Structure 1
Amino acid sequence: MNAPILDALRPSAGQLALADLLARGGTQRKLGITHVDARAYTCPNRHDAEQRAIFSTSTLVIAPSALLPEPNMAVPHDGFGKPLLIARDASGTAHVFLNVCQHRGTRLVEGDEAVCAARLICPYHAWSYALDGSLATLPRPDSFPGLDKRDFALKRLPTVEAGGLIWFAFSETADFGHARTLGDDFAAFGLAQQHLFRRRTHRVAANWKLIMDAFLESYHVQRLHAGTIGKFFRDGVATADSIGPHQRSAVGRAADLIAAARGDWPQLRA
């Protein structure tokens, strides 16, 4: 991101509120000692219940917008347990589809790398789809008398692009209101203008909450990251608030006191 874009960014009201709390020493709560039953991370029944209650109904981030920088691009994604396809159509609109041909259920796009094409062609019978999911062509259409191509479009899941991120949901009734609110925060960081330099996949044999837990506290920062970023942060100075089911948190740095007072966004975001 170049300097003119960075200088044009402005923090959201929520970000400024968190910065103000940091300048006053962060959020202090005396809750006492609590314990978490280890079965929360190991119980298969609980895991299945979480999949139904959270991942099957909530709005989820599937990719940064920068993953599909141009129209007519698509990337397979299997990280949510179903074959999904992230696509950007000819008009630039983002979609999330089931990566399944509507003829015989064959996986439409193989692998996990981006493809650039105006049509996605099924490897089985060569039915082809536009990047908006519509069925474009099929061989020997006379073999399917009365077929209406509109009835055989790819299965599209609810999709919204906000704040430089592509959000989707498995539920047709999912509410994307919080995604748009969070999108304002990410837009303040210029996420939509970022370039994707490299993509890596990490497969971790662990419960998903073990990964999330590390980002819900700053107690570890100056110890676990002592040799890298730990020295940049103020130990024990942090704050957080909520946007619906989502948590927004901030960790204090030495420069924050002055920056928060003058609304210095380049300094606050550094």
Structure 2
Amino acid sequence: MRQQTHTALSKRVFAHIRNKTTDRRPQVTHHAVSHYTCPQRFQQERRKLFRELPILITLSCQLPSPGSFITDDNTGVPLLIVRGDDGKARAFINACQHRGARLADGQGRVKRRFTCPYHAWSFTTDGQLAQLPHSADFTGFDQQNCRLQERPVAEAYGMIWVRPEGDAAIHMADMLCGLEDDLAHFNFTDYHHYETRRIDVAMNWKLVIDTFLEPYHFATLHRTTVAPIFLPNMCLFDAFGRNLREAFPRRTITELMDKPEAEWDFVYHSALVYVLYPNTVFVMQADHAEVWRIFPSKDAVDQAHMYLEFYIPEPVQSDKAKAHWDANMDLVCRTVLDEDFPVGEGAQKGFMSGTGRSHIVFGQNEPALAFFEETMAQALG
């Protein structure tokens, strides 16, 4: 984030403090409950949003060297992402070109080739068939042009996106729509992975993302966890194409009022929540980053799963540092898993019963929430 952005956002917060206001929408928004319960809409979302669009798969630090790989099945397409000998990240369908067996699982590093566990066909990290046992038995088969099915990849700002279906290239400018400056200045290429947790919940995937998009509930639901940290019912909202940035100022931000503008560090005195369309919540904290990759589960409109990935600016080298990051992870889990998600699951249960209201209400003080749900609705036409 550029210094002028630190300054501009801080000034917006100071104006809200003086006026006892927050960023607001012009009007209250009414949102259809069916967007969380309709099976037909859910299947459209799975196809159009999670298979056809670029999806953030991981941060670059998870593929640190040639041969590093990670697999991902969350979109319904089995993907194998690997860093080649040339340093380039590539994505392939995780299936052998012989009989379709999976070539790899999880995360790791392959020395030279991926070898199929079924018949030992092997492929280089750039997808080329390297070895076919008993090749004389495949007369007429074009071994020279046999390659793994490749999928478009974009790597930028320390992040890796993949388009699970289709061959269209991923254009970062069209996708990020102005967020490039923020992401570039965070220097994610220098971050280190600390921990990943898989979380399964009984609610629609969009309702999970809604959880992160307003501070209106902090004072009530989080009164003993994060409410004492943040200014009450205050947010800054900015849209970047179909992405968004929402800032929750910490109470400590008033300390900046007595410092020169050149020393204002907005990130340190806030939590920045980015939604990278369509399904990633990126939370930039004062000293670490949380990535929530959220997916619909199975074929159930009221089921979702996600991966909470915790990234830190330097590797852990002491018990004191480990205790610090464990405490941060504990606060996240106590806030989101123990407080937010039970409320969301209760709401989803009521939605599924069909006995409640046809619409829910987003207040004028919930601009990011309304924007996100409107964007999702528009995506399906």
User: Aligning the two structures, in what range does the TM-score lie when normalised by the shorter sequence?
Assistant: 0.7 to 0.9
How far 1:257 sits from its partner (Å)? 4.9
Note if contact 1:22-1:251 (Cα within 8 Å) is conserved in structure 2: no
Does 1:31 pair with 2:23?
A: no
3-state DSSP of counterpart to 1:24: helix
- In structure 2, the CA distance between the partners of 1:230 and 1:117, relative to structure 1 (3 Å rule), is farther
Partner of 1:7: none
Counterpart pick for 1:190 among 187, 192, 195: 187
How far 1:165 sits from its partner (Å)? 1.3
How far 1:126 sits from its partner (Å)? 0.8
Scaled by the length of structure 2, the TM-score of the pair is 0.61
Partners of 1:245 and 1:19 in 2: CA distance: 24
Instruction: Within 5 Å, give how 1:103-114 maps onto structure 2.
Output: 103-110=98-105, 112-114=106-108
Note if contact 1:96-1:168 (Cα within 8 Å) is conserved in structure 2: yes
Note if contact 2:230-2:251 (Cα within 8 Å) is conserved in structure 1: yes
Counterpart pick for 1:140 among 131, 134, 146: 134
- In structure 2, the CA distance between the partners of 1:190 and 1:149, relative to structure 1 (3 Å rule), is same
Note if contact 2:176-2:243 (Cα within 8 Å) is conserved in structure 1: no
Partner of 1:4: none
Partners of 2:6 and 2:128 in 1: CA distance: 41
How far 1:140 sits from its partner (Å)? 2.3
Counterpart pick for 1:101 among 84, 87, 96: 96
3-state DSSP of counterpart to 2:12: helix
Note if contact 1:85-1:99 (Cα within 8 Å) is conserved in structure 2: yes
Partners of 1:56 and 1:65 in 2: CA distance: 21
Note if contact 1:59-1:179 (Cα within 8 Å) is conserved in structure 2: no
Does 1:11 pair with 2:5?
A: no
Partner of 1:22: 13
Amino acid at match of 1:221: F
Partners of 1:66 and 1:168 in 2: CA distance: 16
Amino acid at match of 2:250: R
Partners of 1:31 and 1:90 in 2: CA distance: 54
Greater Cα shift, 244-253 or 113-122: 113-122
Partner of 2:72: 77
Amino acid at match of 1:104: R
Does 1:161 pair with 2:155?
A: yes
Does 1:88 pair with 2:83?
A: yes
- In structure 2, the CA distance between the partners of 1:49 and 1:73, relative to structure 1 (3 Å rule), is same
Deviations 1:107-132 (A, max 9, x none): 1113x233433211011111111122
Scaled by the length of structure 1, the TM-score of the pair is 0.84
Amino acid at match of 1:267: Y
Deviations 1:7-35 (A, max 9, x none): xxx53765654444233224233413x33
Considering only aligned residues, what root-mean-square deviation do their CA atoms show, in Å?
2.5
Amino acid at match of 2:128: S
Partners of 1:137 and 1:15 in 2: CA distance: 54
Note if contact 1:162-1:179 (Cα within 8 Å) is conserved in structure 2: no
Counterpart pick for 2:253 among 252, 256, 269: 256
- Aligned residue pairs total 259
Partners of 2:121 and 2:7 in 1: CA distance: 51
Does 1:171 pair with 2:166?
A: yes
3-state DSSP of counterpart to 1:262: helix
How far 1:238 sits from its partner (Å)? 0.8
Note if contact 2:177-2:240 (Cα within 8 Å) is conserved in structure 1: no
Unaligned runs of 5+ in 1: 1-9
Note if contact 1:160-1:167 (Cα within 8 Å) is conserved in structure 2: yes
Note if contact 1:21-1:27 (Cα within 8 Å) is conserved in structure 2: no
3-state DSSP of counterpart to 2:200: coil
How far 1:183 sits from its partner (Å)? 4.6
Amino acid at match of 2:249: G
Identity %: 34
Note if contact 2:122-2:132 (Cα within 8 Å) is conserved in structure 1: yes
- In structure 2, the CA distance between the partners of 1:12 and 1:155, relative to structure 1 (3 Å rule), is farther
- In structure 2, the CA distance between the partners of 1:106 and 1:52, relative to structure 1 (3 Å rule), is same
3-state DSSP of counterpart to 2:268: helix
How far 1:81 sits from its partner (Å)? 1.4
Note if contact 1:109-1:120 (Cα within 8 Å) is conserved in structure 2: yes
Note if contact 1:242-1:248 (Cα within 8 Å) is conserved in structure 2: yes
3-state DSSP of counterpart to 1:125: coil
Amino acid at match of 1:264: W
Question: Larger strand proportion, structure 1 or 2?
Answer: 2
- In structure 2, the CA distance between the partners of 1:161 and 1:253, relative to structure 1 (3 Å rule), is same
Partner of 1:127: 121
- In structure 2, the CA distance between the partners of 1:125 and 1:15, relative to structure 1 (3 Å rule), is farther
Partners of 1:11 and 1:143 in 2: CA distance: 61
